Amino acid sequence: MKRLAFVGLLLLLALTSAFVTNTFLLVEDTRLNLALEKAATMSSLNGSEASVGTDGNANGGSNFFHTGIEDQPWWQVDLGAVHQVSGFEIHNRSDCCMERADSLTVQLSTDGKTWTKVYSHDKKPFGSETSQIPPLKINTKSAPARFVRIKLAERNYLHLSEVRVLGE
């Protein structure tokens, strides 16, 4: 009798585990890309315009914005109004030079003057939709922002394919 109860308990645990695991696998990210087709600017220009970062095309091999080489280059997007921002999906240039984004930080502002750093990258490589390395996905505590700035902490070029700002 004890053995039958034990087998029944194991079966119940296995079924519960499978149900819970499958439930979590089905959860989708329903946050909006607040940056899509919004106005973007950057600290300097070396080739492609800042607007490439919000055009919806994450092909890092041929579609990326590019600053000149400078101290702490930055790129930013104006979301048009204050939104609750809770995450980012950043797609790197994938044809070369991915390591140039190693020191990136993400900053938020409601007025474009006072900035709060919400993320500092850990130097792990990240790619784009078209590379073998996945893009950088960041979840943060929800915070109000109208402006989002990607900035390097060093002297270098800044070039990324797409920046998706997630929130409501």
User: Residue 72: left (phi > 0), alpha (psi -120 to 50), or beta?
Assistant: left
Q: How much is the pTM? A: 0.82
pLDDT digits (tens, 9 = 90+) for 106-152: 999 999 999 999 999 999 999 988 888 999 999 999 999 999 999 99
DSSP designation for 52: G
Q: What does residue 155 show for φ and ψ, rounded to 5 degrees? A: -80, 125
pLDDT of residue 18: 44
Domain ranges of the chain: 31-167
The one-letter amino acid at 156: N
User: Residue 3: left (phi > 0), alpha (psi -120 to 50), or beta?
Assistant: alpha
Tokens of 148: 């989002």
- For the chain, count helices (H), then strands (E): 1, 10
The correct answer on CATH 3.40.50.300 for the domain covering 31-167 is: no
pLDDT of residue 129: 84
pLDDT of residue 21: 41
| Distance (Å, whole) CA 134 – CA 124 | 11
- Residues 152, 76: contact at Cβ < 8 Å? no
| Distance (Å, whole) CA 56 – CA 38 | 10
Q: Residues in the chain with pLDDT < 70?
A: 1-28
pLDDT of residue 28: 67
